[in-house]
Amino acid sequence: MERSVETMDKIVSLCKRRGFVFSGSEIYGGFVGSFDYGPYGVELANNIKAAWWQAMVHREPNIVGLDSAIVTHPKVWEASGHVGGFSDPLVECKACNTRSRADHLLEEAEVFADEKMSVEEINAVFDSVREKISCPKCGEKQFGSVTKFNLLVKTNLGNFKDDWSADPAYLRGETCQGIYINFKNVLDSTRVKVPFGIAQIGKAFRNEIAPRQYIFRKREFEQMEMQMFVAPADEMKVYSLWKEKRMQYYLDLGFKPENVRWHEHENLVFYAKAAFDIEYNFPFGFKELEGVHARGDYDLTQHQTFSGVSMEYLDPYTNEKYLPHVVETSVGVDRTFLAVMTEFYDEDELCGEKRIVLRFPKKLAPIKVAVFPLLKNRPELVEKAKEVFALLAEHMRAEFDDNGNVGKRYRRQDEIGTPHCVTIDFDTLGEENPLLKDTVTVRDRDTGEQTRVAITELITYLQ
């Protein structure tokens, strides 16, 4: 399907209607930048995380997992540079006091502002196009100067002073810092040797000035990150390998090649050797989905300096001591969720009826199979359907559905992406044809084709 604002509206509507995503605190009027995953959304998000974990940990012999704390010692964020430099350019409308990200307003004026620009540089760019920029809320063009706004979220966890804000802790702004500070722990407690990686899935928090584009940019979000620790001389070779692996991951999930592309960072931070983003063709255009970065030894150096604990690695083969360099892959669960919804959303016509269908690959589908009794007012059909549901539920995520006619149930399952529907009918009971006793009708989501399958063969057929 062609991507457009209308496509986004359809996806948002479907997500609400079918229980994928709800606005956060909706009964109180919502809370900007906050969303809740509903019954099918949490299943899809969990499947996205499971697919990533399988690819990054279970299938990689030298990568291990970690689940580090959300709140760490405040010095972690001083060492990482977040306390001093983790900020976005903020500009306020003088007419209505709405605060916006200056770089986002510049984008709409087709002007690029790099995140690593100084305040003076961004102000110069902003001043040059002020007459082209309007407030997204009131439409006026009365803006103040651009300032830097730190995105770290402060907390008083463990601090019981009245004026705790003078000495705060922080909700983590990214998950990777928990990996860096546990580098030695993992190294000392497992059999890994450089090169090895540590993977983590977890929540992160950023006080975004202007969350936007649905779940693409949130204040509370979930990351899937992997840090590969390598010998300095091997950094770029390993980096190239992971670039290839990460792009192939999306193609293997079923993404069309024309919907993913590479974008090279033009202005690298001083310590980085290379940085590329995998961009996805969202309904609002190509935007960053995942970052793959060659970070050098900056992160371990910083934590070694601020903690006073050596992060050096002794190579058991060469007897050489060095600080490992880091190759990072970083992707958001929420952005992947939106990319998956976009990629597999489709509209077609089946048996003369228009329908919406989510053509999820089987491993991502929230529900793998739905089980129906042909009629809900026939106890013998319902009982048999529940037996089949119990059998399948032992092996896969199944759903029992007896609400409405079978056609409506098919459409409902199409809209949540269920690959197969199993119907228990009178042939299953052997009432009309004894040869068909203990067989069921299996309907394929994508084609609508129906196949008769013996209950004893059903698990193998569906897996």
User: What pLDDT digit, counting tens, does each position of 182-221 carry?
Assistant: 999 999 999 999 999 999 999 999 998 888 899 999 999 9
pLDDT (0 to 100) of residue 217: 93
199 Cβ contact list (under 8 Å, min separation 6) = 53, 56, 57, 63, 64, 65, 66, 224, 225, 226
Whether residue 184 is found in the same domain as residue 288: yes
Nearest residue to 79 (alpha-carbon basis) of 186, 205, 170, 209: 170
The boundaries of the domain holding residue 424 are 367-462
Instruction: Identify whether residues 250 and 303 lie together within a single domain.
Output: yes
**Which CATH number does the domain housing residue 203 bear?**
3.30.930.10
74 assigned to some structural domain: yes
Residues of the chain with confidence (pLDDT) below 50: none
In a domain, 160, yes or no: no
Q: Give the residue ranges of DSSP H helices in 116-201.
A: 119-128, 176-181, 183-189
User: In the structure encoding, which two tokens stand for residue 24, read together?
Assistant: 């956060």
* Nearest by Cα to 89 from 53, 62, 116: 116
**Furthest-apart CA pair in the chain: how many Å?**
83
Q: What is the pLDDT of residue 246?
A: 98
Q: In CATH, what number is assigned to the domain containing residue 447?
A: 3.40.50.800
Tell me the average pLDDT of the chain: 95
The string of pLDDT tens digits covering residues 101-128 is 898 899 888 888 776 788 898 899 999 9
Q: Which residue has the tokens 């986004």?
A: 8
Q: Which amino acid makes up residue 88?
A: D
Clarify whether residues 44 and 183 are in a common domain: yes
Q: Which of 304, 323, 341 is the last residue of a domain?
A: 341
CB count within 10 Å of CB 257 equals 9
Question: Is 391 buried (19+), middle (13-18) or exposed (0-12) by CB count in 10 A?
Answer: middle
Global model pTM greater than 0.75: yes
- CB count in 10 Å sphere of residue 349: 8
454 belongs to a structural domain: yes
